[in-house]
Structure 1
């Protein structure tokens, strides 16, 4: 593993709470999540979580969990961060979605961008940046060596309180085809459109479009030839060299899938909570009438769903372990094949959680429990919408299978 550059430890700015532990930050997420359950309707109505929730996340340190220590972040491990995501999703799926797809891209930025870029991106410590993968428009070279980018980027989850935006575009390729480029834009150079909230689910996830109009960015904010879903890390990364932490040297593709699995685990756990409450409070509708807790069918459905959610959590935890261990072995070990295999484990976690909700909890909760705004109904809507995410429904569902097989069998066509 490449060593971190020689920077005195006391030269790093301290985070707001230098003694904050992973256990405490997860406990904070669980406490906050309990207060989000009754605010789900207002969050959906607004289209994003409230300012006071945002301020609570700021005070809890949530936007610094994955920010490098070099910039006043906590640089916690990936497992801790994903436990926070699942805890929040258990309370409010929309809130957790907005949070994680703003905060998780600190790893993306700290892995792929140069030291000069990171010095600017993380200058405030708290980092919130949506990141989209569609290549929108064409970047124009600027006279000073930088770039001029514009275009409207839909589904920019995390945009309401964002500090930056990370997107993709194309750059002219001369006589050849245009090349992809990842770019970063500070918040002052883009506008959030008021176009979110009419979807089936995740209505409060802050997934608005980001409109960029002829924004000029310096050269180090544009990474030509880089795309979140296709970038190789086998030759090392700027982040690993700069920070010396494998967290910033692992596969980018699988890293992007972990939040989806963590969200699914949290959502399904929330549905299981609601189902358990129904079992305690309600009786069967056919004789012999009895508490649902004593009915063999309700017992079966609860147990079946709990087993699938538990298996999804276990699969995610082991995928994170594999990711961390592989990244820790240094450049050359985190191949595309490994990245795909770990991404597909996340896919299976999502499928297990969806099956728990769609096959066992939603159908048997009772029609009154799935009225609009009921907790089980909301989770069903949110998880249905999760499946409209292109990463889940297109890439992981089909493209990843074929690409993995081609790598295994060395097929190039």
Structure 2
């Protein structure tokens, strides 16, 4: 065990909640996730057909404790290091992509309450600390500042797993009277305040049920809103000192690693029995098949190790109650975004070795391929833009406003199109 890994392990395995109940170790939680993989895999086709993850599956995730991993102790959670949650996602993704995606989206919000006024958590978990929260962060609608809070109007897309949520986080850009943007907010609204509109007809991750939310003159009190950009300690406890984007983006990357590992699992199974139609020899003897498998595994392992290292480095800062330095954060965004591309490449390497059998709907590899293509198209996996941002930063150029921190002075550079203009809609519930 390295010194970096020991930092995380000590926090994960010895923690306990205030009531005295022991918290499962990271290894135990991963074992629970691994045990679910066969059943998740067996029902993956049904989930895709239904375009929604079964409520029974979400309940099983609850019973396994996965929703408590990031939840603050104040509301009965375990307040663990985010890497524990990421490891769970990597396992669940091997079974059913859509189910794992729902767990990722619906389970990451518990961490978000560690950034907010505690009254927001009391509103949601005061009577039932197992309440689930959905989200739609793309700033597609309109936010208006009013006395005591905000008004929301509009249609917000891609709210993954929203049928399971009793509340939802809504993303919106905030503008001043002159039309200059000065913040990006996440606002918490109860299920009674929005309508779910079913427009989720897609070729990949179809089972996530990522429908749209429609809000009309919905009032959100001040304490149920927070900035997704303003990064400062402001009294947060240790596990909530990571940057918002870093935690959310890395969670997306983690579940995609699970998708790619599913492709490896399926490929290995199928190649155990397949024979070359020309020679009659086992296809597994082909040097090209072996080469593709080895290179696919290398891409997946590199992606996983990179995420682990990012979290290890960031954890060294937060355990000293320091914010993660901007220089590191700019690198970390690209480190995470590269995961989608490399996992997509890994699955394509394997898929091309299946020839015609890979196109049949009865072959689960085609579903994994579609799911990884959809996941890798998520805005958090935009390696092109993040590479350009990092390159420009290293050459002394300014960073885009409202991505890493609030601009010191809102000026011309902060003026952006109205909410929703130019936005990538394929964000599936994440910023």
| TM-score exceeds 0.5 | yes
1:137 aligns with 141
1:172 is displaced (CA, Å) by 5.2
Q: Who is 1:312 aligned against?
A: 303
Normalising by the residue count of structure 1, what TM-score does the alignment of the two structures yield? 0.86
Query: Which residue pairs with 2:396 in the alignment?
Result: 410
Match of 1:280 among 272, 275, 282: 272
Superposed counterparts of 1:3-402, under 5 Å = 14=19, 18-111=22-115, 113-123=116-126, 124-126=128-130, 128-143=132-147, 145-171=148-174, 173-179=176-182, 180-196=184-200, 198-223=201-226, 226=227, 228=228, 231-233=229-231, 235-237=232-234, 241-242=235-236, 244-245=237-238, 247-287=239-279, 289-331=280-322, 333-358=323-348, 360-393=349-382, 396-398=383-385, 400-402=386-388
Distance in 1, Cα, partners of 2:331 & 2:135 = 23
* Residue aligned with 2:158, SS: coil
Calculate the aligned-residue CA RMSD, in Å: 2.2
- Aligned residue for 2:206, secondary structure, equals coil
CA drift of 1:13 comes to: 6.2
- Cα distance between partner residues in 2 of 1:127 and 1:18: 21
Cα–Cα, structure 1 residues 362 and 151, in superposed 2: closer, same or farther, change >3 Å?
Answer: same
Q: CA offsets per residue over residues 123-168 of structure 1, 9 Å max, x none? A: 332353333332233333445x122222211011131211321122
Q: 1:5 is matched with which residue?
A: none
Q: Would you say how many aligned residue pairs link Structure 1 and Structure 2?
A: 381
Assess if the C-alpha contact under 8 Å between 1:86 and 1:263 holds in 2.
yes
SS at match of 2:373: helix
| 3-state secondary structure, aligned to 1:150 | strand
What secondary structure sits across from 2:155 in the alignment? strand
Report if the CA contact (8 A) 1:157-1:208 is conserved: yes
Q: 2: CA distance between counterparts of 1:168 and 1:49?
A: 24
Question: Which runs of no fewer than 5 residues in structure 2 stay unpaired?
Answer: 1-16, 399-412, 414-431
Q: 1:208 to 1:373 in 2, by over 3 A?
A: farther
Report if aligned partners of 2:75, 2:125 keep a CA contact under 8 Å in 1.
yes
Structure 1: 5+ residue runs without aligned partners? 1-11
Query: How far is 1:176 from its partner?
Result: 4.7
Shift of the 374–14 alpha-carbon distance from structure 1 to 2, 3 Å rule, reads farther
**Residues 128, 158 of structure 1: 8 Å contact kept:** no
Separation (CA, whole Å) in 2 of partners of 1:34 and 1:142: 51
Counterpart in the other structure of 1:3: none
Distance 1:170 1:249 in 2: 23
TM-score by length of 2: 0.82
Counterpart secondary structure, 1:20: coil
Q: CA deviation at 1:375?
A: 1.4
> Match of 2:207, SS?
coil
SS of the equivalent of 1:257 reads helix
